[in-house]
Structure 1
Amino acid sequence: MQTTKSGTRDSETCLREMTCLPLGGYSVWSSLPPINFSSSSQSKPIILTVATMDSASFFRDKSLGAESPISGLISLLAAVDSLSYLDGLDGLSKQLVFSVFTGEAWGYLGSRRFLLELDLQSDAVGGLNGSSIDTVIEIGSVGKGFSQGNKTFFAHAAGASSATSDALNALQHAQDSLESENIIVSSASTSNPGIPPSSLMAFLRKNPFASGITLEDFDTAFANKFYDSHLDDMSNINASAIVAAASLVARTLYILASGNKNLSSSSLSAINVNASLVEELMGCLLSCEPGLSCELVKKYISPRATCPSHYVGVIVGEPSSSPHPGSVSDVSRFLWNFLADKTSSRKEGISNCSEDCSNKGGVCIKAETNDKGFCVSSTTRYVPAYSTRLKFESGTWNLLPSNASDQMGTVDPVWTESNWDAIGLRVYTLQHAAFDRLVLLAGIAVTLLAYLAIVLTRAFLTKTLKQD
């Protein structure tokens, strides 16, 4: 059993006394195709597609979050997979970048930290430039978008820029190319007060003029009645809806990145989402059977647990863009390997990680399942995710003062989890009934013998005293 340490009070106090750790983990981002740092292609406008990997619930180890947000995550992974088979991606006029944030259930700390790292131009976001982000497309809750035989989705737009209009037109174009799939995508109601709670809000707080849309399966009212509950499991979503959302997103991204608004349906027909992959990902990320012991996950990593949990966890040790695998959750490590594999090209002249892969611009995938791993050319990075008001110095976490002039700082909460102390518990086993009967008989026998001994002793003493 575990219990929290007493007297922790608030985050500032427990961080100072080192009785807690900040909530956080590692987000993952990847580009398709890999960014060529030696050419001018890195200055291309960026289309950033984002999803969330963490959820919350009353019981932290039961945080599955199937509809919100894992349905969007699976849709993003399926979209990346379908785009990875296309030829000529180097010739696209815009750069495709995919980012999966963790910590979004706790004040959007993953997306906030990602934006801060962009400002700092840290190694974790090397190759990215925040000013080059043209459009943000977020895949939110899409697992329930199935109604009366149609897969229905709503695009919640931020701003009225030309980039946002282009994204909405590309979604409509993608829908038209999927006419036989009964997929419907509509713009969200103009009566809505804004976009729904999402990572896109962090981008808008940073830049109110940012362009973006978030794809959801609801219009004016949130539809997931099991939100942040252990009941938000695989039975709460529909695989067909996730496949449809992935198809929409994949074709929309290709239309936007190509710069050709008049792509024919025949040219888009080569982008097909693997429905079997979607079902496999659902089984891996949303169930204990097979859970993280599924073949797809074990192809990339050696999971430490079987049952998936999408609780964000805590940051252990110094945050790094190249963390030790033991400091990264199973899900984050799987996503890093999966995205690095799907967005990669084999490194020429290097077959495994023992041959100086990283020094030649490569990354090592499948290192946990293969002694030497495989060296591939891929721009895939970990980004530490924790509050922007925290700084790790000299082995301790320091809380930075909030900046009243910075809107991001004033609303950025600092979430921490207390250190867990072990407490003891003594358990007694229930003995067999025959043993209880034996104890009873022994007790009766002892009682009778004691009574007999008393009677005999009393008679002996009485007789002895009379003789005297």
Structure 2
Amino acid sequence: MVGGCWTSVGEETNHLSQATASARLLFHLSTMRLPATLALLLTIAFSTVNAQDVATTLYPYIYKDLSNWPCVRLLNATGTIGCQVLNSATGILQMVQSQTDLNNFISSGGLPGEKYAIVMPYGLMTTQNLRNLGSSNKLGGVIAIVNTTSGPLPQPQSSSPDSTCPNCEFGLYANDSQPYVWNPQGTSLIYENFDFPIFALDPIDPFSVDMYNTIALSANYNANKSYTNYPLKAVEFDAFMYGAVNTATCLRRGWCSPVGGLSVYSTPSGALNHGDGKPVIVLSAAMDSRSFFHDLALGIENDVSGMIALLAVADALSKSPTNLTTFPKHIIYTLFTAEAWGHAGSQRFVDDISQPPVCVNTSSSSSFCPYATPACTFPCFLDLDFTRINFDAIESVWELNSVAQSSAPAGSSGFYAHIDDPTLPANQLLVQLLANVSVQNQGGGQYGVQAAGADGVNRRLPPSTVQAFLQKKRAIPAVVVSDFQKQLGNDLDDTFDPAAAGASICAAANITARAIWLQAQGLTTATPVPGSVAANCSLVGVLLECLTTNYSCPYVTGFYNSSNAGRITHYTSIYNWNNPGLIPLLMFNILGNLTASYRGGKCTTIADCSAGQYCITQQCVNTLTRYHDAYGTGLQMNVDGSFSVVDPTKGTWAESVWDQTDLRVFLVISRSFQIVELVFGVVWTGLSVGLVLYTQRFLVKTLKVA
């Protein structure tokens, strides 16, 4: 067993045979009729090959590689955010447990000339603390403990890494001189730029548990030796990011890709047509969230609760005894991705349906468009079904925002209906409809709906997808349903109560489904809503589990194979036309199944179905469910498939290309001993070269080799 890894007899024999063969080859080289210099160079070369082989063999003895959650670099029109390290950084592990510990380390801690990897609770990850560490000249990197194996760590209730008004610079009120502060606890840590590596510890699966235990044991090992008695445990960080300067420069150099993905829209109105004269009701929610460590973004409130509530509404309406296709109004479900990054999903969707693109069909040889049969080669679209949505026919837009009530601010009670313009009668009608339905079906109270402006303060809309619709047409009636009135809640993902969150989400979905059922038929609350039009709380609970802790749940595997997925990130990632991502893929399948107008034969893949059909739950179905590109509206895809910045005032977020990030633990000796080792190594190398030269000359004289 080598370095904790079992090695087979065959592998050991292979190493021995390689060594024997190398030794024989070196002997033959020294006795061949070759010039002395060439013989020396070849001898050194083969010695180098052997050294590399030895290094590979010894690697497990020296290092222990760990799975990791890195802070990565993103770019926009004006610069960069996140973390970057140009070369591998190392540091002796040192645990910091309080602000006092951190201050002491910065002022007087550490040995002269050494670099340290500070292990500290996520609660100490403030901009000022990180800046102070970076300017201390003794920082190698930071490892933030998000949670422990014993359970969630206490998180600061008065702090958020986002800005005080997330994405407001891209929203409906971007030009307001004093926009409302929805996130007063915001520190904008997400927008900072650090030139040292920062990794997270969050034991959420077997690999990250191993990482947590290794770092914790190593830090305790150093603490027991007072961080001074060598050898000590250290870590090496690899987190090189290629992106630099800003998005325009980075895209031009090919060092980054647009942040984004694929949004999903769906409607039970399979015959939807741009000129059919029917009003349109849009129900929307976001599919992504963000955090300082993207891979740990979960967003119970920020995206999960609204997304699940929308699915529960679609499920409830699919059980209407009156077929939805006979309603006098269309209902369209929209789930937008990359909303956390400049409202990219909603703004691009609205741009495309409000002003359909002009197709310039180019030859396949001059166009990147990768689809086999695209509806348009430039701009590249697989289909143009989104042009069937008449933007001017949109009668109202409804959004399900944060509705889990798991982190609602103190003083919040029930749900709040936010509107932009309280003087618009149609806005007030939406609020009143929701309030009346909540009283009729939920009895008000904990799950009642009231106007967010009931206290006399007009805060208008919080950060939301509906702002994109109003940016194009301010007069569209729109409402955002949330569990907060005055400010965003603290999204403490690991401390939520699944049962309480599920009950709240189900209540919000139930109210919204019944209100839309009435609105889509032009009815009032005087008309009784059928009992079948009700949110399925069991489905809500299942979805909550699948989207937060176990993507491999039976419900998801009923659509496709998702084994060993576990907890997944809710960070949108980068735009990829061929890869919707795990969350949009699931949303497409669920909505496609709920809005299917025809179910045909059995299938295992889409190839088994007729043209225009999809294979969902092993059945060929007809459904008007589609993906839609989502990346910043300040970006444009060019004919050759590259991207460029066309409007720096809009969303231009891009993610840097980066090498595989690594975090390795190893033992380090004192600097004085390292110097001794270096000198010894140089001397040994010199002696080795001298021995080779002597041996070569001896063989020339003894064996009479020219």
Q: Do they fold alike, i.e. is TM over 0.5?
A: yes
1:339 corresponds to which residue?
591
- Match of residue 118, structure 1, among 350, 353, 357: 353
The answer to whether structure 1 residue 377 and structure 2 residue 377 are counterparts is no
- Match of residue 517, structure 2, among 249, 254, 279: 254
Partners of 2:655 and 2:385 lie apart in 1 by 25
Offset, 1:156: 0.6
Asked whether the equivalents of residues 645 and 652 of structure 2 are also in contact (C-alpha less than 8 Å), the reply is: no
2:461 corresponds to which residue?
195
Asked whether the equivalents of residues 427 and 479 of structure 2 are also in contact (C-alpha less than 8 Å), the reply is: yes
Moved more, 158-167 or 67-76: 158-167
Offset, 1:240: 1.1
2:390 corresponds to which residue?
129
Structure 1 residues 114, 82: CA separation in 2 closer, same or farther (over 3 Å shift)? same
Partners of 2:254 and 2:243 lie apart in 1 by 12
- Match of residue 280, structure 2, among 46, 63, 69: 46
Question: SS of the residue aligned with 1:308?
Answer: coil
Offset, 1:38: 7.5
- Match of residue 567, structure 2, among 293, 303, 307: 307
Offset, 1:65: 0.3
The answer to whether structure 1 residue 173 and structure 2 residue 439 are counterparts is no
The answer to whether structure 1 residue 297 and structure 2 residue 559 are counterparts is no
1:20 corresponds to which residue?
256
The answer to whether structure 1 residue 59 and structure 2 residue 319 are counterparts is no
- Match of residue 644, structure 2, among 390, 399, 416: 399
Offset, 1:378: 1.3
Q: Which amino acid aligns with 1:312?
A: T
Asked whether the equivalents of residues 18 and 396 of structure 1 are also in contact (C-alpha less than 8 Å), the reply is: no
Q: Which amino acid aligns with 1:386?
A: Y
Structure 1 residues 79, 13: CA separation in 2 closer, same or farther (over 3 Å shift)? same
Structure 1 residues 97, 335: CA separation in 2 closer, same or farther (over 3 Å shift)? same
**Structural mapping, 1:135-284, within 5 Å:** 135-144=396-405, 152-159=414-421, 160-180=423-443, 182=445, 183-189=447-453, 190-222=456-488, 224-226=489-491, 231=494, 238-265=501-528, 267-284=529-546
Structure 1 residues 394, 255: CA separation in 2 closer, same or farther (over 3 Å shift)? same
Offset, 1:263: 4.3
Q: Which amino acid aligns with 1:345?
A: S
Partners of 2:468 and 2:317 lie apart in 1 by 27
**1:270-290, Cα deviation, whole Å (9 max, x unpaired):** 312111111101100011xxx
Offset, 1:364: 2.9
Asked whether the equivalents of residues 340 and 379 of structure 1 are also in contact (C-alpha less than 8 Å), the reply is: yes
Asked whether the equivalents of residues 635 and 651 of structure 2 are also in contact (C-alpha less than 8 Å), the reply is: no
Asked whether the equivalents of residues 144 and 236 of structure 1 are also in contact (C-alpha less than 8 Å), the reply is: no
**1:252-279, Cα deviation, whole Å (9 max, x unpaired):** 11010011115433x3333121111111
1:457 corresponds to which residue?
none
Partners of 2:497 and 2:640 lie apart in 1 by 41
Offset, 1:157: 1.4
Partners of 2:439 and 2:499 lie apart in 1 by 28
Asked whether the equivalents of residues 65 and 233 of structure 1 are also in contact (C-alpha less than 8 Å), the reply is: no
**1:15-38, Cα deviation, whole Å (9 max, x unpaired):** 00101101001110111x233157
Partners of 1:172 and 1:81 lie apart in 2 by 22
**1:312-348, Cα deviation, whole Å (9 max, x unpaired):** 10013xx4xxxx3xx1211110000000001113246
Offset, 1:158: 2.3
Structure 1 residues 105, 233: CA separation in 2 closer, same or farther (over 3 Å shift)? farther
1:463 corresponds to which residue?
none
Q: Which amino acid aligns with 1:275?
A: C
Partners of 1:27 and 1:76 lie apart in 2 by 14
Partners of 1:424 and 1:130 lie apart in 2 by 48
Question: SS of the residue aligned with 1:358?
Answer: coil
Q: Which amino acid aligns with 1:170?
A: L
Q: Which amino acid aligns with 2:610?
A: C
The answer to whether structure 1 residue 422 and structure 2 residue 660 are counterparts is yes
1:434 corresponds to which residue?
none
Asked whether the equivalents of residues 164 and 213 of structure 1 are also in contact (C-alpha less than 8 Å), the reply is: yes
Asked whether the equivalents of residues 80 and 342 of structure 1 are also in contact (C-alpha less than 8 Å), the reply is: yes
Structure 1 residues 398, 173: CA separation in 2 closer, same or farther (over 3 Å shift)? same
Asked whether the equivalents of residues 242 and 658 of structure 2 are also in contact (C-alpha less than 8 Å), the reply is: no
2:246 corresponds to which residue?
10
Moved more, 255-264 or 94-103: 255-264
Partners of 1:7 and 1:357 lie apart in 2 by 44
**1:239-262, Cα deviation, whole Å (9 max, x unpaired):** 111111010110011010011115
Structure 1 residues 204, 49: CA separation in 2 closer, same or farther (over 3 Å shift)? same
Offset, 1:90: 2.1
1:109 corresponds to which residue?
344
1:369 corresponds to which residue?
none
1:90 corresponds to which residue?
325
Partners of 1:418 and 1:397 lie apart in 2 by 15
Partners of 1:142 and 1:255 lie apart in 2 by 21
Q: Which amino acid aligns with 1:186?
A: Q
Offset, 1:423: 6.5
Question: SS of the residue aligned with 1:9?
Answer: coil
Asked whether the equivalents of residues 50 and 137 of structure 1 are also in contact (C-alpha less than 8 Å), the reply is: yes
Q: Which amino acid aligns with 2:624?
A: T
**1:136-176, Cα deviation, whole Å (9 max, x unpaired):** 0001111117999x971110112343432332232133123
Partners of 2:495 and 2:287 lie apart in 1 by 14
Asked whether the equivalents of residues 45 and 94 of structure 1 are also in contact (C-alpha less than 8 Å), the reply is: yes
Asked whether the equivalents of residues 282 and 334 of structure 2 are also in contact (C-alpha less than 8 Å), the reply is: yes
Structure 1 residues 214, 195: CA separation in 2 closer, same or farther (over 3 Å shift)? same
Q: Which amino acid aligns with 1:16?
A: R
Structure 1 residues 272, 151: CA separation in 2 closer, same or farther (over 3 Å shift)? farther
Partners of 1:106 and 1:237 lie apart in 2 by 29
Asked whether the equivalents of residues 365 and 374 of structure 1 are also in contact (C-alpha less than 8 Å), the reply is: yes
Partners of 1:79 and 1:135 lie apart in 2 by 16
Question: What is the TM-score normalised by the length of structure 2?
Answer: 0.52
Identity %: 29
Partners of 1:135 and 1:282 lie apart in 2 by 28
Question: SS of the residue aligned with 1:178?
Answer: helix
Question: What is the TM-score normalised by the length of structure 1?
Answer: 0.77
Offset, 1:426: 7.0
1:439 corresponds to which residue?
none
**1:396-417, Cα deviation, whole Å (9 max, x unpaired):** 4332432xxxxxx73x131111
Offset, 1:73: 0.9
Q: Which amino acid aligns with 1:133?
A: I
1:458 corresponds to which residue?
none
Q: 5+ residue gaps in structure 2?
A: 1-67, 69-237, 358-383, 669-706
**Structural mapping, 1:420-459, within 5 Å:** 420-422=658-660
Partners of 1:13 and 1:301 lie apart in 2 by 40
1:386 corresponds to which residue?
631
Question: SS of the residue aligned with 1:158?
Answer: coil
